[in-house]
């Protein structure tokens, strides 16, 4: 399994290696562990196993019934994430205390990373979504019920666990149920507010969360031996569920967090490049020197990533809904 961290080591472009460093530094740790699958073409159709095949138990010489697992087809297109950095030639010529190119590119890469993390969660959902974006985890989990489904329906989708039919206090029992919904889970992902609630629950149970240090020096909390990654783009103001169904397609991210909008989802999954949740890419993240701007006294550097996300196994992603982290 190749991760984004592996692609950093393999890339010979020193600027790209620095860009990966800045991406990992501005991330909570998840992107460096994200598995990547190389895809040829601008997208793929793939099969997701949604039900196991039946096995026959019988007497000798009985007829053997034909049984097959259930597969459904899903699509994972590749999309263009791209950012131009304009470096002022005047700033380069006159700034003797800083490296303006370094400062500007690093700043833009932090914004690039924030956008990737946002789409990782909310891609093609909410009123701010776009079909030009990759499908995020909310969308991918919704489609495990059917490709036309746009909400998180705990009644008809086994990968949606309802903590409450509307919005209620998080419990460790429900968090454990979320983990059990994923085969071979290797990560949890939540908002900072949900992580604070998890800490409160852990202290109340008499077991403070273990902390480990990753390869980039970050301290990552662990729950049930799973790393807890923080994604600041996970909303705390989703609308409260209605009868265990959470609507995401009409959610407005600018909504004020108040009564009726107290929902904060928690994700659990298994990352891997074979039968799990991963990123698809045509080519690794690249940078190129475009040249001098035609309208500004500046050099242009471009960073781009042709990518998308996919869940190749129904049981590689799950979400806990109906959580109010302040209850």
Residue partners of 225: CB distance under 8 A and separation at least 6: none
Give the span between the Cα atoms of 30 and 233, in whole angstroms.
13
Which ranges constitute the DSSP H helices of 123-170?
137-142
- Helix, strand or coil, per DSSP, at residue 286: strand
Query: 4-49+69-321: which CATH architecture?
Result: Alpha-Beta Complex (3.90)
Q: What integer pLDDT is reported at residue 48 of this predicted model?
A: 78
Give the span between the Cα atoms of 35 and 48, in whole angstroms.
18
Domain definitions of the chain by residue range: 4-49+69-321
Q: What integer pLDDT is reported at residue 300 of this predicted model?
A: 94
Give the span between the Cα atoms of 257 and 235, in whole angstroms.
9
For residues 180 and 26, the model is more confident at 180
- pTM score, two decimals? 0.91
Q: What integer pLDDT is reported at residue 101 of this predicted model?
A: 86
Q: What integer pLDDT is reported at residue 47 of this predicted model?
A: 77
pLDDT in tens, 151-166: 999 999 999 999 999 9
Helix (H) or strand (E) holding 23: helix 14-25
Cβ(288)–Cβ(50) below 8 Å:
no
Of the candidates 107, 106, 133, the one whose C-alpha atom is nearest the C-alpha of residue 120 is: 133
Tokens representing residue 101 in the block: 């190119």
Give the span between the Cα atoms of 189 and 87, in whole angstroms.
35
Query: What backbone phi and psi angles, to 5 degrees, belong to 182?
Result: -115, 130
pLDDT in tens, 120-154: 999 999 999 999 999 999 999 999 998 889 999 99
Residue 12 banded pLDDT, cuts 50, 70, 90: confident
pLDDT in tens, 162-211: 999 999 999 999 999 999 999 999 999 999 999 999 999 999 998 888 99
The mean pLDDT value for 259-286 works out to: 92
Residue 40 banded pLDDT, cuts 50, 70, 90: confident
Tokens representing residue 325 in the block: 């982290």
């Amino acid at each position: 399994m190749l991760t984004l961290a592996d692609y950093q080591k393999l890339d010979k472009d020193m600027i790209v290696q620095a860009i990966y460093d800045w991406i990992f530094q501005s991330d909570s740790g998840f992107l460096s562990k994200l598995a990547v699958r190389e895809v040829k073409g601008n997208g793929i159709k793939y099969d997701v196993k949604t039900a196991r095949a039946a096995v026959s138990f019988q007497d000798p010489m009985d007829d053997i019934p034909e049984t097959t697992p259930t597969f459904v087809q899903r699509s994972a297109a590749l999309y263009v994430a791209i950012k131009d950095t304009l470096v002022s030639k005047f700033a380069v010529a006159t700034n003797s205390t800083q490296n303006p190119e370094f400062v500007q590119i690093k700043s833009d890469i932090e914004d690039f990373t924030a956008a990737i993390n946002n789409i990782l969660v909310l891609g093609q959902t909410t009123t701010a979504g776009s079909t030009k974006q990759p499908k995020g985890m909310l969308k991918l989990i919704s489609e495990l019920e059917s490709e036309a489904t746009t909400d998180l329906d705990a009644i008809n989708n086994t990968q949606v666990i309802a903590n409450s039919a509307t919005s209620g206090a998080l419990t460790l029992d429900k968090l454990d149920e979320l983990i059990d919904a994923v085969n071979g889970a290797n990560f949890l992902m939540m908002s900072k507010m949900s992580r604070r609630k998890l800490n409160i629950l852990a202290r109340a149970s008499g077991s403070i969360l273990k902390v480990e240090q990753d390869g980039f020096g970050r301290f990552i909390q662990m729950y049930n031996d799973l790393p807890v990654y923080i994604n600041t783009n996970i909303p705390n103001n989703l609308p409260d569920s209605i009868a265990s169904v959470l609507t995401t397609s009409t959610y407005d991210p600018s909504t004020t967090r108040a009564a009726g909008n107290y929902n904060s989802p928690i994700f659990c999954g298994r990352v891997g490049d074979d039968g799990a949740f991963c990123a698809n890419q045509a080519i690794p993240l690249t940078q190129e020197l475009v040249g001098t701007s035609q309208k500004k006294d500046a050099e242009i550097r471009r960073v781009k990533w042709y990518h998308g996300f996919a869940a190749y196994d129904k049981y590689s992603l799950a979400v806990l809904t109906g959580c109010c982290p302040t209850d």
